[in-house]
Structure 1
Amino acid sequence: MQRRDDDHHHADEGAHEHDRGLSYDLPVLARRRMIRLMAGVGLVPLVGCSAEGEDTPAAASSGTPASSSGTADSAECAVIPEETAGPYPGDGSNGVNVLKESGVVRSDITKSFGNSAGGTADGVPLRVTLTVVDSDSGCSTPKKGAAVYLWQADRAGDYSLYTEGVTDENYLRGVQETDEKGQVTFTSIFPGCYPGRWPHIHFEVYGSLADATAATAITNTSQLAFPKDVCDTVYATEGYDRSIPNLARLTLESDMVFRDGYEQQMAAVQGSPAKGYTATLTVAV
């Protein structure tokens, strides 16, 4: 499986030695564009599966319309686009491996675990629900017993285990096994926006929990995107000051990952800063 290491850098920290630049991403981005061109002549389905979630607040919402069933017709089903895992995956492919540590299998990822510094990631509450489905079934069959490893930046735009100041933390990282509906739900915080990247969350899909905790046999690596209106609202709250100017310099169309299409990766988001948000996405594998 192709892995790329050019997702995240801070302007004031200089270029990382593992940040290979946009040119390293071009083969995968070009492949995705070719798939979309082929879809135009009826060879490959273009539209991804819609997002789905449960018990979401009836407050402000944005992003992909939620599906009532969590599935889609075969004509609307396409495998989630393959994306960079970035330089901070923590899965052993770039230094530290958090997946083999006791405690990584959890739903609440706001706190560090194990022998870490024991810190907590502060920010606007966010609950992320991913529904993993089988693309070969037209997205009609949930992938029960698969596993998802999810990780993200904190509200300052930093990644635990890697960024200076939080290298002793491992918060905002966790693994879960999908249930009978193919779902996993993580309790987290809304991620900050750092220089050069649209607000996002990383995730890897594994065939089983055993594969995930052994850090082997990844089946899919992708990213979840957030709607701009929600980002603007969240970043106006305390602690997200850095995100405002960073987001102002970006668009989804200019982002190095989402510029060639983000329909399958745009989360359906509901909620408010006061009550917290939910983000839901159906992931076809």
Structure 2
Amino acid sequence: MDKRKFLKNGFLGLGAIAVIPSVISSCSRDENEEGEAEVIAPPVNGQSCQVSPVEMVGPFPIKTPAQLAQSNIIGDRTGVPLLMKITIQDQSNGCLPLAGVLVDVWQCDKDGNYSQYGGNQLQATNYNSQNFLRGRQTTDSKGEVSFISVFPGWYPGRAPHIHVEVLTAGGASLLVTQIAFPVTAYSTVYASNGYNGAPDRSNTQDSLFSDSLSRNMADSVTGNISDGYTLSKVITVS
């Protein structure tokens, strides 16, 4: 119940948020092309500790990340509330949590558009002067950061995703990656009011996720349309 109240407050009362709920631990499920569910287990420190997939920054990276040090990245966007909880761990140190590093996130809105860009062939709608759905946080002693957002939409040629970059405190990039969503979660959201229906690329059809989907996949996505969703993901850097 606390999680539900938090997500609703995060969406309806942006200035009143002061606490982050605990992670709900569960395995995420994705569907393969035959419709069977695939269980994606979260990484365990010291076991199966692989560096997270390196993915392209994409055409819409954050232009001014140092100016966007914020945990609430919704801005003026609408959509199903989403709480992102990301943990960074260090492969070179037994996959222990990595404190004091920067985590940048950016994503499209429910209509598939990015802030800081637009008015061109890549994105017709011009949002050059806006900074919604972009943010930066510094990991705590547990290697954790949290962001309050909305469930992203999709745009042609890509499955639903969140962009993440991990950097040292001095700004040197350690890893650029992307987080994928379980089919069951995004299908439910995209069938609700305000979203654009099923994406034109599934997770298995996405060119970036096709060779590393199980490691790109969120460790868990829990919740519902009314109360919002919580996404948890462990990202491993070297």
TM above 0.5, one fold? Answer: yes
1:130 aligns with 2:96: no
Which residue of 110, 125, 128 corresponds with 1:155? 110
| Alpha-carbon distance in structure 2 between the residues aligned to 1:61 and 1:123 | 22
Corresponding residue of 2:4: none
1:56 aligns with 2:46: no
Matches within 5 A, 1:214-233: 217-233=172-188
Corresponding residue of 1:87: 59
Unaligned runs of 5+ in 2: 1-20, 31-38, 119-124
Q: Which structure has the larger Rg over C-alpha atoms?
A: 1
Indicate if the aligned counterparts of 1:109 and 1:172 stay in contact, CA closer than 8 A: yes
Matches within 5 A, 1:104-143: 104-111=68-75, 120-139=76-95, 141-143=96-98
Q: SS where residue 215 of structure 2 aligns? A: coil
Moved more, 122-131 or 250-259: 250-259
| Alpha-carbon distance in structure 1 between the residues aligned to 2:214 and 2:25 | 23
Indicate if the aligned counterparts of 2:111 and 2:153 stay in contact, CA closer than 8 A: yes
Q: SS where residue 154 of structure 2 aligns? A: coil
Cα distance change, pair 57–281 in 1 and its aligned pair in 2 (3 A): closer
Which residue of 140, 145, 169 corresponds with 1:184? 145
| Alpha-carbon distance in structure 2 between the residues aligned to 1:144 and 1:73 | 15
| Alpha-carbon distance in structure 1 between the residues aligned to 2:23 and 2:211 | 32
Q: Percent identity?
A: 38
| Alpha-carbon distance in structure 1 between the residues aligned to 2:40 and 2:140 | 23
Cα distance change, pair 168–83 in 1 and its aligned pair in 2 (3 A): same
Cα distance change, pair 107–85 in 1 and its aligned pair in 2 (3 A): same
Corresponding residue of 1:272: 224
Indicate if the aligned counterparts of 2:104 and 2:134 stay in contact, CA closer than 8 A: yes
Moved over 6 A (4+): none
Q: Cα deviations across residues 103-146 of structure 1 (Å, max 9, x unaligned)? A: x11100001xxxxxxxx01100000111000112332x110101
Kindly report the root-mean-square deviation, in angstroms, between the aligned alpha carbons of the 2 structures: 2.1
| Alpha-carbon distance in structure 2 between the residues aligned to 1:133 and 1:57 | 17
Task: Output the amino acid matched with 1:272.
Answer: N
Indicate if the aligned counterparts of 2:23 and 2:232 stay in contact, CA closer than 8 A: no
**Higher share of residues assigned strand:** 2
Indicate if the aligned counterparts of 1:62 and 1:270 stay in contact, CA closer than 8 A: no
Q: SS where residue 235 of structure 2 aligns? A: strand
Q: Offset at 1:55?
A: 4.0
| Alpha-carbon distance in structure 2 between the residues aligned to 1:180 and 1:254 | 37
Which residue of 147, 151, 156 corresponds with 1:195? 156
| TM-score where L is the length of structure 1 | 0.66
Q: SS where residue 234 of structure 1 aligns? A: helix
Q: Cα deviations across residues 124-178 of structure 1 (Å, max 9, x unaligned)? A: 0000111000112332x11010110000000000000102232221010000000
Corresponding residue of 1:78: 50
Q: Cα deviations across residues 245-270 of structure 1 (Å, max 9, x unaligned)? A: 4x1x3222221100112112211100
Indicate if the aligned counterparts of 2:110 and 2:154 stay in contact, CA closer than 8 A: yes
Cα distance change, pair 252–167 in 1 and its aligned pair in 2 (3 A): same
